[in-house]
Structure 1
Amino acid sequence: MTLTEQTGLEFGRRLRELRVLAGLTIEGLAEASGVSARAISDMERGRSRTPQPRTVAALSAALGGDTVLGELAKAGRETVTTGRPRMCDLPRRSGHFVGRDDELAAIGKAFEEAASVTVVHGQPGVGKTGLAIRAAELHRELFPDGCFYLDLRGTEPGGGASAGEAQTVLLRALGVSSRQIARGDEERGGQLRAILGQRRCLLILDNAGGEGQVRGLLPGAGSAVVVTSRRVLGGLEAVRRIALAPLPAPAAVELLGGGGGNDGEIARLCGYLPLALRIAANLHDPDRLSDADRRLEMLTPVEAAFAASYAQLPETARTVFRRLAHVPTLSFSAAAAAVVAELDRYDAEDVLEKLLDRGLLQPEGHDRYRFHDLIRLFARARLRAEEPAAVRRRGEKRLIDWYLDTAIASGRVFEPAYGSAPEQWDPAQAWLQAEVDGWFGAMRRAAAAGEHQRVVDVAESLHWYSDRTYSVDPWSAVFTLSRESAERLADRRQEVVHRNYQAWAMSFCDGRYPETVEQAMAAYAMAVELDDRKEQAAALIYAADAYAQMGERGKALELMRRSLELADTVGDHDGYVQTLIGIGATLSGMGRAEEAAEQYRHALQEAARRPLAPAPEFAARVAASVFLTHEYARMERWNETVDAGREALPLAEKFGEPHLLGRTHLALGLAHRARGDHAAARAAFAEAVGQFRRSQVTTEWSAQAEVLHNVPHGPGDGPLFA
């Protein structure tokens, strides 16, 4: 490619960028400027001769007046008269720059060194080029010998500029005549390093496609370099890397610039990507972005940026990428990718790393990956365009079945009939927690497809597991979905069970106590009709819990004792022990600590005496032990608090529910403080605060832990227990 062709392409890219930012089609710009649509199209594609000054002036006037006129006129004059490679001047940034203070500070610190190379990498449209140019503008004084910009075009078909072409352009920009430029790549690289080593320059190497494009352009000393790439460029050594993420929400709203009340939603729909935000700011009706099927169509340059990275992928990677659109959540594991792509786990991981390297995925902790939501829309579009409907249906069904089957198998580990030891629960719990968005999304898709028994089966298998994560997982939505599916099956026995589960979630997870009572008593009436005494007992205990939370503890005790009698009558030993614990909690709320402690001790005795299944027996021992420790602390029986806490703590740690762990550490901290062991008290209060924060639930105990964690621990600190 000649220098004239290069400058023509640069002019065309700039013209197209300004047209898109103005919200104009080619036809619209033709009408506004008087220049033919065919001529504008040829200019944007770099297919035409250099435009005449009057053409540049007409286009500039249509695109915004004097400011734009000056830039386009300069581009035209340089292209026509000098042939100087326009790409080696710093391009003008589009619009104002917001955010990125930490990244700018990191690049600025690197500039202060004698020689530095910084790689800014991230997904298409995230603002890598804008960041590099802004950094150059802020620190021009550090580079008295000039700042030079070169677009390596690494995302273009064929990989863009070769190392030799790039060396030649840079040497010309640095004042070396054509006759003096060495012929071989190695010799040109040495020549470039020698010149840069004697000067203090800044090179911005934009859009690098790989290490090979960059390595021969790096100075050994003297000058600084900023490389932008969608790839990490892990093969480059002794470089700083800055992984650029989408903008924070406030900066994204600022970039929109309109200050409208809906800017926050528009920023979200743009995925906080600077490129998308700049386009949205110029749309006549940005609210239309809410249409997911048309969003990328309205953000054409964004889609084009994604398409360039997609086109460079090997066929297997393209297949995996588009099929990942089947995943019902933005975050997923390598195992899910292997299922949807029909690959083994190791091959899937290799492909995911390629997608990560190209900026088409983001890492999310160990063994997990995440789509940007706009890239996911692009993957979905490619899936629809490139795979037949029958293939798409099979792929989605395969993935949804995997999520649901694995959720059922994992949830059954916690069922009463399951005989495993608690130590074997951890893998199942880890999968359920990591994949919660996936298996719940799969449940919703199964319900939408009319697979109602599957939905009920998944929720049923997770019933006992739900007790362990009631403070963090979406159980109200899960059991609402399963109750609705049971209704559609017209199976009243399943419906009453899942109506009870929904009542539990309304109370324990959402705190919707009046609705809980209504739901639980509707389940009770249905259970009476069916003569199902076990479900009658369950409905009464859920209603009682809600009454207790609303302060009607007398009513709660009445219902609990009725529930206890029913559970005993039908031999529901698991329910019987759980109800004893509920009675203890109600008595505790009434200030009857000694009676509450007696109920917890009774529950522990009955759990040991009655034939409980392993899972509920363990859950009962955990709850009763933790609550007993709590009651001893309330009564300021500190030695018993410590003894009970030492038994409760390992059980609570194995159970893994953070709120119960927080309560145990809080009680132990109070006991240690009262007994004068202030170091142990401080450690216990700190652990309590950490666990309560993990639980994401604010209670009187979590508030007290925060206070105690932040006060001195010595004699006369104030009340020991709220």
Structure 2
Amino acid sequence: PLWDTEDLLEALVDTSLLESAAPGRYRYHDLVRLYARACADRDEHPPTEKEAALSRLLDFYLSTAARVYAIERPGDRLVDHLEPTTYEGLAFTDRHEAQDWLYAESHCLLACVRQSASSPTTLRRAVDLLWASLDLAESGANSKEYEAVATLLRTAASKTGDVRAEGRAANALAYVHHYQGRFDQADREAESVVAAARSIGDPLPVCWALNARGAIAHYQARFGDADEHLTLAIALFREAGDPAGEAAALCNLSRIRLATGRTEDAVRMARKGADMYEEMGHALKGANGRYALGLALTEDGQLKAARNQLREALAVFADSRQRLWEGMTLFRIAEVDMADRRYGAAAAGAEMALTLLRGIGGEWRRGIVLTVLGRALDGIGQSGRARVCWQEALALYEELGAPEAAEVKGLLGRALAA
């Protein structure tokens, strides 16, 4: 019972075996924790007591993380496809309280996932906990630790022959690689997810992997492949009764329509995706919808409307601690300012984006921001600084083998000729 537990914890604080870092939160000193773990390994009889305790903790984390996911993403069907739990988790009154819990618990949660990887009885729940905690990777706050744990789970599932767990762990890895700009690796993982999940009839990973493959193909300028993946993802999300997933794929498909010159289609699709999120009360992913709509409106020349959509998205991303998307939205606002010939504002926005994206998002994203920053600096007469930006962007693109290298070479060539 809760009150008995609190009395025990407070007694341990009184004897200096625990510290209370904040009301309702307790922690070990490092040395005491190591000693406690050694005692548990040595003294627990039978050893299954320790395994049962870890299983209860895993249940608590999975149930609570599912509630965080649900409050952040109303209408998203992922929570209906997770492994069942016996023990209830925490309930939250609002999304900020839920976010606070997830980020405060991130290291402990991921440690629990790591420790649960070695047992077939806990492996599937550990994988689903990782998937339900995707915000830890997407925000950039815990992406390296998240990636290491996802890799461990994928290996463990492969060794035990658990195709469901392996496919879902690969899905988590695909998204980490995607967010970090490692598109080839992301696509390989997502392709393996589709094959594995289809083979056992696990529908939701197929939908999300196809959505990821479409977004990745867009970044690699494989627009035909992107269109095919996303069109199928929309159909499968619709079949699964997952309107949030359908909205995500629609917003991604709108970017393919933009890239292939079908601006009217792009605006329509992005607006539909954003409206679907709005109807579901989907604040965080609704910001992704506004982001997509802002891009489409920019290309359509509706600059004021585009700036409004992107600023609204920016406020949500900042409030939700999504540093990656906060940085990318600042970059997109800088693109709007460039189209509006507000070069000083564009330079300031792009510089802020670079600061936020430091260490997250990958080198490709850094390259596109540097390219726009160079254009903005050139627009305010700082041609020397502009060339430095383009030279750095070119080096990044050439190392990645990215098609954007040709554009930057052209900018540098014209700058040197002038």
Shorter chain as normaliser: what TM range? 0.5 to 0.7
Q: Which residue of 2 aligns with 1:425?
A: 95
- Please, which of 115, 121, 124 is the counterpart of residue 456 of structure 1? 124
C-alpha distance in structure 2 between counterparts of 1:590 and 1:443, whole Å: 42
Preserved CA contact (<8 Å) 2:257 2:266: yes
Q: Which runs of 5+ in 2 are unaligned?
A: 71-75, 80-89, 387-406, 409-418
Q: Offset at 1:623?
A: 0.9
For 2:271, the equivalent position in structure 1 comes to 601
Q: Does 589-598 or 547-556 show the bigger shift? A: 589-598
Give the structure 1 partner of residue 107 of structure 2. 437
Q: State whether residues 499 and 520 of structure 1, in contact with CA within 8 Å, keep that contact through their aligned partners in structure 2.
A: no
Q: Which residue of 1 aligns with 2:137?
A: 469
Pairing partner for 2:69 from 414, 427, 435: 414
Q: Which amino acid aligns with 1:556?
A: A
Structural mapping, 1:47-62, within 5 Å: none
Tell me if 1:390 matches 2:44.
yes
CA distance in structure 2 between the partners assigned to 1:550 and 1:604 by the alignment: 25
- Unpaired runs of 5+ residues, structure 1, are 1-338, 357-365
User: Aligned-pair distance for 1:566?
Assistant: 2.6
Tell me the alpha carbon deviations over residues 296-338 of structure 1, each in whole angstroms, 9 at most, x when there is no partner: xxxxxxxxxxxxxxxxxxxxxxxxxxxxxxxxxxxxxxxxxxx
Q: Which has the higher helix share?
A: 2
Q: Does 1:629 align with 2:294?
A: yes
Other-structure match for 1:555: 225
**Which residue of 684, 693, 710 maps to 2:358?**
693
In the superposition, the TM-score normalised over structure 2's length comes to 0.65
Find 2:13's aligned residue among 347, 359, 370. 347
Matches within 5 A, 1:285-684: 343-344=9-10, 347=13, 371=30, 376=31, 380=34, 384=38, 389-390=43-44, 400=54, 404-412=58-66, 413-415=68-70, 416=76, 424-448=94-118, 450=119, 452-467=120-135, 469-470=137-138, 471=140, 472-473=142-143, 474-483=145-154, 492=163, 494-495=164-165, 498=168, 501-502=171-172, 504-505=174-175, 507-509=177-179, 511-531=181-201, 533-590=203-260, 595-608=265-278, 612=280, 617-633=282-298, 637-671=302-336, 684=349
| Alignment check: 8 A CA contact 1:622 1:648 kept | yes
Conservation of the 8 A alpha-carbon contact between 1:476 and 1:506: yes
Superposition deviation, residue 499 in structure 1: 5.1
What's the % identity of the aligned pairs? 18
TM-score norm. by structure 1 comes to 0.41
Residue 696 to residue 608, structure 1, CA distance change in 2 (3 Å): closer
- Whichever residue aligns with residue 65 of structure 2, its letter is G
Q: How far apart are 1:580 and its partner, in Å? A: 0.8
The one of the two structures with greater contact order (alpha-carbon pairs below 8 A, sep at least 6) is: 2
**Aligned pair in 2 of structure 1 residues 717, 634: CA closer, same or farther (>3 Å)?**
farther
SS class of match (1:343) = helix
Structure 1 residue 368, shift from structure 2 partner: 7.7
Shift in CA distance, 551/708, structure 1 to aligned 2, threshold 3 Å:
closer
Counterpart of 1:498, as a letter, is R
1:547/1:370 CA distance change after superposition, 3 Å: farther
Equivalences, count: 361
Note the alpha carbon deviations across 1:409-436, whole angstroms, 9 max, x for none.
Answer: 4411213367x99982334433433443
How far, CA to CA, are the matches of 2:206 and 2:215 in structure 1? 14
AA of the residue aligned to 1:653: A
Aligned equivalents of 1:401, 1:344: Cα separation in 2: 24
Distance 1:671 1:541, change over 3 A: closer
Change (3 A) 1:680 1:543: closer
Q: What is the aligned partner in structure 2 of residue 704 from structure 1?
A: 369
Confirm or deny: 8 A CA contact 2:287 2:312 kept in the other structure.
no
Aligned letter for 1:622?
A
Distance 1:605 1:422, change over 3 A: farther
Q: Is the 8 A contact 1:678 1:714 kept in 2?
A: yes
Distance 1:543 1:388, change over 3 A: closer
After superposition, the CA RMSD in angstroms is 4.9
Q: 1:580 to 1:631 in 2, by over 3 A?
A: same
8 Å contact kept, 1:642–1:668: yes
- Spell out the pairing of 1:34-53 with structure 2 (5 A cutoff): none
Deviation at 1:625, TM superposition (A): 0.7
